[in-house]
Amino acid sequence: MTTTPDMPGLSLVRHPLVQHKLAILRNRDTPTKIFKELVDEIAMLMAYEATADLGLDPCDVETPLERTVGAKVSGKKLVLVPILRAGLGMVDGFLRLIPSARVGHVGLYRDHETLEPVDYYFKIPANAEERQFFILDPMLATGGSAVAAVSRLKASGATRIRFLCLVAAPEGVRRLRATHPDVEIFSAALDRELSASGYILPGLGDAGDRLFGTR
């Protein structure tokens, strides 16, 4: 994982497997089935990185030979919060590593004219203040959706929030960090810029459409 001095709060997951899979994901000829599998696999590899500093508590274990001390992840259950729709593609990969995590949902879509997020659904587990949240969305473009999702979680009491995406634009990273400087961002790539119509360049296109075949 690497950090860049001019983008504080952004960690880039540079693992070769992630970069290899991301290149296939970007390819316009990659079909929906493969696209979905790759988002799932990259999310799992990113979950490994984004949870590397989780606290541990000691626990007793009886091996077949003797009693020893093991370790278990401490604290309340983690909560994954996919931003609908495209964030859904990252949930199962993450859950494969942390099957006991709870799953909340934030429904947001970008208005095509204004590029501002419109919210239509919100549901997270109770006792938000005691939990660690991971917001999942493949794309961080203008940052409007990410900012809205974090604001909504904070309004419900969440204080520990991380944002995981596959491709980020510099504009989105700056906006999210400027509005919510406490939220760490994990991404597989930091791309060049946003197009005039709000697409990430070079990007991978419309993540939701490619994931669900609605192009």
Vertex 46 angle, CA 107 and 162, to 5°: 50
Specify the residue, 67 or 112, whose C-beta has the smaller distance to ligand PRP: 112
Per-residue binding string, ligand PRP, 113-152, x by CB under 6 A, is --x-x-------------------xxxxxxxxxx------
Residue in 50, 164, 200, 211 binding ligand URA, rule: CB under 6 A: 200
191 is catalytic: no
Tell me how far apart the alpha carbons of residues 9 and 14 are, in angstroms, rounded to a whole number: 16
H/E element holding 67?
strand 67-73
Residue 74: CB minimum distance to ligand PRP, A: 31
Q: Please report whether residue 207 would count as binding ligand PRP according to CB under 6 A.
A: yes
Tell me how far apart the alpha carbons of residues 91 and 44 are, in angstroms, rounded to a whole number: 9
Q: Which candidate in 114, 159, 182, 192 is catalytic?
A: 114
The first and second tokens of residue 122, run together, are: 């919100």
- Contact between 188 and 13 (Cβ < 8 Å): yes
Residue 207: CB minimum distance to ligand URA, A: 4
Taken as a whole, the chain contains a residue count of: 215
**Window 101-140: residues binding ligand URA (CB under 6 A):** 139
2 is catalytic: no
Instruction: Find which of ligand PRP, ligand URA, none residue 107 binds, CB within 5 to 8 Å per kind.
Output: none
114 is catalytic: yes
* CB neighbours of residue 210 within 10 Å: 22
* CB neighbours of residue 172 within 10 Å: 27
Residue 140: CB minimum distance to ligand URA, A: 8
209 is catalytic: yes
Q: Which candidate in 26, 85, 102, 110 is catalytic?
A: 110
Q: What is the dihedral of CA 13, 15, 17, 22, to 10 degrees?
A: 30
Tell me how far apart the alpha carbons of residues 215 and 203 are, in angstroms, rounded to a whole number: 16
- Contact between 87 and 103 (Cβ < 8 Å): no
Hey, which residues are catalytic here?
110, 114, 206, 209
Binding site for ligand PRP (CB under 6 A): 83-86, 108-110, 115, 117, 137-146, 172, 198, 206-208
Binding site for ligand URA (CB under 6 A): 139, 141, 198-200, 203, 206-208
